[in-house]
Structure 1
Amino acid sequence: MVQEYQSPVRVYKHPFELIMAAYVRRFPKCPLIPVFVDSEMISENQSEDGSVLVTERRCTIDVDAPRLLKRIAGVDYLYFIQKNTLNRRERTLRIEVHNETFSNRVLVQECCNYTVSLTCPVDNHINPRSHLIQLLQGKEIIEYYLRELEEEGVTYIPRWTPPVVSGTGSTRLQLAPISAARAIPVNSAKDGLHSKDPACPTELVAGSPDDKLDADYIRRYLGDLTPLQESCLIRLRQWLQETHKGKIPKDQHVLRFLRARDFNLDKARELLCQSLTWRKQHQVDFLLDTWERPQVLHDYYTGGWHHHDRDGRPLYVLRLGQMDTKGLVRALGEEALLRQVLSINEEGLRRCEENTRVFGRPISCWTCLVDLEGLNMRHLWRPGIKALLRIIEVVEANYPETLGRLLILRAPRVFPVLWTLVSPLIDENTRKKFLVYAGNDYQGPGGLVDYINKEIIPDFLGGDCMCDIPEGGMVPKCLYRTAEELESEENRLLTDSIYKSASIFKGAPYEMLIEITEASSVITWDFDVCKGDVIFNIYHSKRAPQPARKDTLGAHGIASLGAVNAQLIDRSWVLGQDYSMVEKALPCREGESVQGSHITRWPGFYILQWRFHSSPACTASSLPRVDDVLASLQVPSHKCKIMYYTEVLASHDFRGSMTSLESCQSSFSQLSAATTSSNQSHASSISR
């Protein structure tokens, strides 16, 4: 089996002849490489004109293994044969290495080419290193001996010229100015011979600038990389150039996917390919130029860019506690919010490139500061949480390793509940970047000033810097999409619609049955009253209700109104005996949005009921209000309509965090307050 490795390209900013003079100084042994014990000359041959020099050496390498393992293997050292072919005329050096030890079991071959670069790019270069060759011609070692030559006064070595042949009148050739030299490790194969010929240096020079990378580029734009990481980046980029038909992403972008998969080349390639396909399908590359934010986002989305942190990373500030997440979802839909988040990430990538140029060092990620002051139960609105989870999935898959640090400030007691919901979808490496401060702990030692300069701390966090971010507030309900719009948009949303519609007839309430098998489970609900006024109740029964048959509906005194709701609570049941009320009846007017939760105290059957609510009749001595008259004309007197969503959460998902529910600002129902005083974990809330 053949395993092949491609090392990156190393650029030296020195003349070829000077590089060669530094290179030969590492033999017979180099004190800078402890494992390189020694080397002995086997042969040395030179062409008649002196232009080509071929040298063979046997190199002794100390085995980096425990003493016991060395004894088992029967060796203390490994021996490699190195063959160097120096062509002074063409100014090239070819280094070929193969193992002598264990060669009957495994064959290791490596090859490296030094050649002259006709162009020396500034923006795209990568450090090449291979396995044994790394020991014999690493750039750090070359630079060490270059400094040694300089200290000896050797700063220039003339290029080789053909010898003058007497009697022919030949003269020395006029040569071009000295160019820089670069090392080009071409192939290195393990467990077999090379599977393909070494790459041609001429092709590399003639290629695009992206084919020629050096250490300066890495330090300037990519940061510290190990030899393996450098090799993974080069191989993945070359694979993209050979197979990908679209726009090739920048090295910084490719590197993020490698880091996200711990430089597992196959996993990173799969993730990157999926992301590139997604970007093309959704035209993400053009998002910043084509997408116009709706006015609702300008007015009520409480986030924006704000200077940079102490490391030069762009700083994004999000006042989540002041944001009406439910209102934004209801007014815009999930797709618009997803585009907003994508535009933030695209802008973040652009700002990272700008800061890299400004600060002169690689900046590949940004810092996010999240202020949770004001966070309460309305932010735990389940449809909004589901939208948030989907957005997190999209961001994690397509923008890995873009978040450098997340500072969460003024986290209230309800925060553990939110964290329980969203943390499973966040990558482990990303979770390690989260720093959470409760209350005003962020103002002391180890707080915000450790990461952000004091002069740019926003004013709402006690700083002196004005932060140009909308203050948020509740999105007016007049901007909400109607029930018809929600229904018609179901197929266009990124997720399936989770709302259902229901009609409530006069004399025929709409009821929903929920079976609870484990006490302390959480029933959550969210509904909007689209037409008419309703009363909302929650009941509990130990036995399963039996819906009335269609032929018995007349017994309820319902007029023929078309489709009517099947009754779950039988007329013969006695309240307090056959079933009980677990939440106080809540009257809800048209246009109101209601959300809440109930912590079940007993297993059994819970019934959520919405029933028709008639407005109080006007007395003879009082005139009807204009609003009531108009409402009576617009809403049929026998029918109401709601859009609702319910969900049951298992008790183990919230065990240990339920007491934090009482710290929220949402109002608790009177009944819940009376029945749960002895047990804080049995909290119920209804908020509008």
Structure 2
Amino acid sequence: MTVVGVTIIPIMVQKYQSPVRVYKHPFELVMAAYERRFPTCHLIPMFVASDVVDEETSEDGSTNRIERRCALDVDAPRLLKRIAGVDYVYFIQKNTLNRKERTLHIESHNETFSNRVIIHETCCYSVHPENEDWTCFEQTASLDIKSFFGFESTVEKIAMKQYASSIKKGKEIIEYYLKELEDEGITHVPRWTPSSLSLPLPRPTSLSSPPVLPKLAITPAVSIPLAAEAKDDKLDADYIKRYLGDLTPLQESCLIRLRKWLQETHKGKIPKDEHILRFLRARDFNMDKAREILCQSLTWRKQHQVDYLLETWSSPQVLQDYYTGGWHHHDRDGRPLYILRLGQMDTKGLVRALGEESLLRHVRNTTSNVRPVSVWITVDLEGLNMRHLWRPGVKALLRIIEVVEANYPETLGRLLILRAPRVFPVLWTLVSPFIDENTRKKFLIYAGNDYQGPGGLVDYIDKEIIPDFLGGECMCEVPEGGLVPKSMYRTAEELENEDVRLWTETIYQSASIFKGAPHELLIEIIDASSVITWDFDVCKGDVVFNIYHSKRAPQAPRKDPLGAHGITSPGGNNVQLIDKSWTLGQDYSMVESPLTCKEGESVQGSHITRWPGFYILQWKFHNMPACSATNLPRVDDVLATLQVSSHKCKVMYYTEVLGSEDFRLLFSVQSTPVLSLTTPSSSSSSSCSVFFL
């Protein structure tokens, strides 16, 4: 019997999901080993007893249902047991063994203190999807501590401790009994057949050679961060340990749950597991915080087309000549080494010649090369002086730090700051508040030539690759920098126009949605059977997406001057088209069922137009349903209401109109599954059709 313990937020249900464990043994043999855990198991000292309270077998013997009452001696302080008035905690476990389908489903819940603590666990043993001689084990659980005599935090810690100690033994216990069966000569149990009950018990046979698996289905998709096709695969425990490192059971749960959430909300455009794990580590495995910054980063990547920068953008010549940063070999552990000669960089000249946005794009282009491995950065500050504290230059540096921290967390292995001058503390005071605490711990700062001795640069980088300007013998190709000629400076107006051009150089547009002020987009259709496609991200708040049709054109776009509660709508990103005097069903009609989209979701879809005319795509503020007067509000509703209390939402969207032939051709070329693509038979009967680009 497994006891589940997870991190608890008071009055909130916490969930746990384990990775898939694989036993390289047939299902029937694993079941024989599993049954040896009852009525007690000496490998789990806390599992002291179990009694069968009910059992039922189908007529053909293929299905067996058994219910047990299990007693656990929880390792809790004697004072707490005395206050609670119990020595043992009792659980009810219901097992359903289907020999025909080769599955075992287990459900368990606590009987003791069920009015104060609710523990619910489901487990499943099943046949491996690609090797019928292997067995998979999956587990999910939830824990809800409502109240416990004021010891809620203590109960949480006890449950977590018990769970952490027992989860590690889960696989070992099955392996132990499998070995015990082997020692007894039982190495094969025949599969169930309709006549198997009348057959004598199987004779022990010799152990056969282990099956060879050509490829394992339970492995994560290997994909680029935003172009992966959604797969319903599951993470395997062995894969996690081999490729992602040792994680605690709770950390594994966070990774799996966040990955599953992304699969459900981002329609196949999910990052690699290593990428997700970095965001979790950056927020100490706080699911909500990690999900928030990861969604913001995915939106940022899409808006700035980061995954295509290497193909679509090249650095201006002035950056190639005067930007004093570049890659230089690897450290002793094989991690890429990036050298930045900040003291030799004319930050003022670069900003005056290029603008802040060009510098940011260069950083995006550089970081696009970063693989999911830790990177070493060496910053040489020789030459740093007060001219580097020029305010626009510092502002650009802070934006660069902000971009890297928000979108490339936990990619820094170590940062060595060498030859720090007296002015450095001033610069550090300005930039350090913008650097995450976990990242600051990776900084090593050396003043003067202290880095050349023991404990310095040679401890991390092989002597033969130390750059010549740092006292080594290796020629480094990083530009030496120097002052950018003033003849290359641009006027303030030119810089502003360039920054605006780079900022808006994207196929996506952004819009703000206020309570009472939706954002609407007009699309005129001349040929019936055209296809309107869309792709949008909900960056903030929850919205409702609608599509309407009208035979007559709306009036000129109306910008909402004041949002709800007198909030000024940002210029140009909130447009309303449907006149308040229009009547739904007369002046215009709904052609798709409303689609509610949650914050962080990425939505792609299409609509085949049935009539020519004017189509209006609308993003509307989602009002939370009012709580019933006779029922207490649910915690989720209360939290969601607080979350959207600002009465403002934000979306980033892209739309395109394709001819029906072009759309079919695009679908054929992409070879992607269409979930639904039907012409609506009435004005409001169809749902949003989703496809993957």
Correspondence for 1:378 among 382, 387, 404: 387
How far 1:423 sits from its partner (Å)? 0.7
Q: Which residue of 2 aligns with 1:57?
A: 68
How far 1:491 sits from its partner (Å)? 5.2
Q: Give the 3-state SS of the residue equivalent to 2:71 in structure 1.
A: strand
CA contact (8 A) 2:463 2:472 kept: yes
| Amino acid corresponding to residue 434 of structure 2 in structure 1 | L
Correspondence for 1:396 among 400, 405, 411: 405
Distance in structure 1 (CA, Å) of the matches to 2:176 and 2:185: 15
Q: Which residue of 2 aligns with 1:323?
A: 345
1:184-207 Cα distance to aligned partner (Å, 9 max, x none) = 9xxxxxxxxxxxxxxxxxxxxxx9
CA contact (8 A) 1:128 1:231 kept: no
1:474 paired to 2:483: yes
CA contact (8 A) 1:114 1:183 kept: no
Distance in structure 1 (CA, Å) of the matches to 2:65 and 2:21: 24
Q: Give the 3-state SS of the residue equivalent to 1:347 in structure 2.
A: coil
CA contact (8 A) 2:110 2:119 kept: yes
Q: Which residue of 2 aligns with 1:163?
A: 195
Distance in structure 1 (CA, Å) of the matches to 2:100 and 2:197: 17
Q: Which residue of 2 aligns with 1:80?
A: 91
1:110-155 Cα distance to aligned partner (Å, 9 max, x none) = 111111122379xxx9985647888478234334444555566655
How far 1:4 sits from its partner (Å)? 6.2
How far 1:24 sits from its partner (Å)? 3.0
Q: Residues 483 and 97 (structure 1 numbering): CA distance in 2 closer, same or farther, change over 3 Å?
A: closer
Q: Which residue of 1 aligns with 2:243?
A: 221
Correspondence for 2:108 among 97, 115, 120: 97
Correspondence for 1:142 among 159, 174, 178: 174
Distance in structure 1 (CA, Å) of the matches to 2:179 and 2:110: 32
Q: Which residue of 1 aligns with 2:298?
A: 276
| Amino acid corresponding to residue 285 of structure 1 in structure 2 | D
Q: Which residue of 1 aligns with 2:20?
A: 10
Q: Which residue of 1 aligns with 2:443?
A: 434
Q: Give the 3-state SS of the residue equivalent to 2:482 in structure 1.
A: coil
1:243 paired to 2:253: no
1:96-115 Cα distance to aligned partner (Å, 9 max, x none) = 11112113444432111111
Q: Give the 3-state SS of the residue equivalent to 1:26 in structure 2.
A: coil
CA contact (8 A) 2:100 2:192 kept: yes
Higher Cα Rg: structure 1 or 2?
A: 1
1:447 paired to 2:450: no
Q: Give the 3-state SS of the residue equivalent to 1:54 in structure 2.
A: strand
Q: Residues 232 and 423 (structure 1 numbering): CA distance in 2 closer, same or farther, change over 3 Å?
A: same
| Amino acid corresponding to residue 88 of structure 2 in structure 1 | Y
| Amino acid corresponding to residue 5 of structure 1 in structure 2 | K
1:267 paired to 2:289: yes
1:383-408 Cα distance to aligned partner (Å, 9 max, x none) = 10011112222222222222232111
1:156-187 Cα distance to aligned partner (Å, 9 max, x none) = 444333326999xxxxxxxxx9899x999xxx
Q: Residues 443 and 145 (structure 1 numbering): CA distance in 2 closer, same or farther, change over 3 Å?
A: farther
Q: Which residue of 2 aligns with 1:333?
A: 355
CA contact (8 A) 1:128 1:230 kept: no
- 5+ unaligned residues in a row in structure 1: which ranges? 168-176, 185-206, 353-362, 496-688
| Amino acid corresponding to residue 452 of structure 2 in structure 1 | Q
Distance in structure 1 (CA, Å) of the matches to 2:297 and 2:259: 15
Identity %: 74
Distance in structure 1 (CA, Å) of the matches to 2:163 and 2:95: 12
Q: Residues 221 and 128 (structure 1 numbering): CA distance in 2 closer, same or farther, change over 3 Å?
A: farther
Correspondence for 1:114 among 96, 111, 125: 125
Q: Give the 3-state SS of the residue equivalent to 1:89 in structure 2.
A: coil
Q: Residues 388 and 146 (structure 1 numbering): CA distance in 2 closer, same or farther, change over 3 Å?
A: farther
1:425 paired to 2:434: yes
| Amino acid corresponding to residue 410 of structure 2 in structure 1 | E
Q: Which residue of 2 aligns with 1:461?
A: 470
| Amino acid corresponding to residue 342 of structure 1 in structure 2 | R
Distance in structure 2 (CA, Å) of the matches to 1:57 and 1:457: 67
| Amino acid corresponding to residue 16 of structure 1 in structure 2 | F
Q: Which residue of 2 aligns with 1:549?
A: none
How far 1:209 sits from its partner (Å)? 4.6
Distance in structure 2 (CA, Å) of the matches to 1:52 and 1:166: 16
Q: Give the 3-state SS of the residue equivalent to 1:85 in structure 2.
A: strand
Distance in structure 2 (CA, Å) of the matches to 1:310 and 1:327: 35
Q: Give the 3-state SS of the residue equivalent to 1:80 in structure 2.
A: strand
Q: Residues 418 and 149 (structure 1 numbering): CA distance in 2 closer, same or farther, change over 3 Å?
A: farther
Q: Residues 415 and 160 (structure 1 numbering): CA distance in 2 closer, same or farther, change over 3 Å?
A: same
1:254 paired to 2:256: no
Q: Which residue of 2 aligns with 1:524?
A: none
Paired residues, number: 448
How far 1:93 sits from its partner (Å)? 0.8
1:316-346 Cα distance to aligned partner (Å, 9 max, x none) = 2212122222221122111111011112222
CA contact (8 A) 1:304 1:469 kept: yes
How far 1:77 sits from its partner (Å)? 2.4
Q: Which residue of 2 aligns with 1:306?
A: 328
Q: Residues 64 and 456 (structure 1 numbering): CA distance in 2 closer, same or farther, change over 3 Å?
A: farther
1:68 paired to 2:100: no
Distance in structure 2 (CA, Å) of the matches to 1:178 and 1:490: 60
How far 1:95 sits from its partner (Å)? 0.9
Distance in structure 2 (CA, Å) of the matches to 1:316 and 1:276: 25
Q: How does 1:124-143 map to 2 (within 5 A)?
A: 130=141, 135=166, 138-143=170-175
Q: Which residue of 2 aligns with 1:347?
A: 369
Distance in structure 1 (CA, Å) of the matches to 2:286 and 2:187: 43
Q: TM-score, normalised by structure 1?
A: 0.59
Q: Which residue of 1 aligns with 2:423?
A: 414
How far 1:484 sits from its partner (Å)? 5.1
Distance in structure 2 (CA, Å) of the matches to 1:165 and 1:127: 29
Distance in structure 1 (CA, Å) of the matches to 2:198 and 2:74: 54
Q: Give the 3-state SS of the residue equivalent to 1:406 in structure 2.
A: strand
Distance in structure 1 (CA, Å) of the matches to 2:476 and 2:353: 26
Q: Residues 150 and 47 (structure 1 numbering): CA distance in 2 closer, same or farther, change over 3 Å?
A: same
| Amino acid corresponding to residue 64 of structure 2 in structure 1 | L
How far 1:51 sits from its partner (Å)? 3.1
How far 1:213 sits from its partner (Å)? 1.3
Question: Could you say what the CA RMSD is over the residues aligned between the two structures, in angstroms?
Answer: 3.6
How far 1:226 sits from its partner (Å)? 1.8
Q: Which residue of 2 aligns with 1:625?
A: none
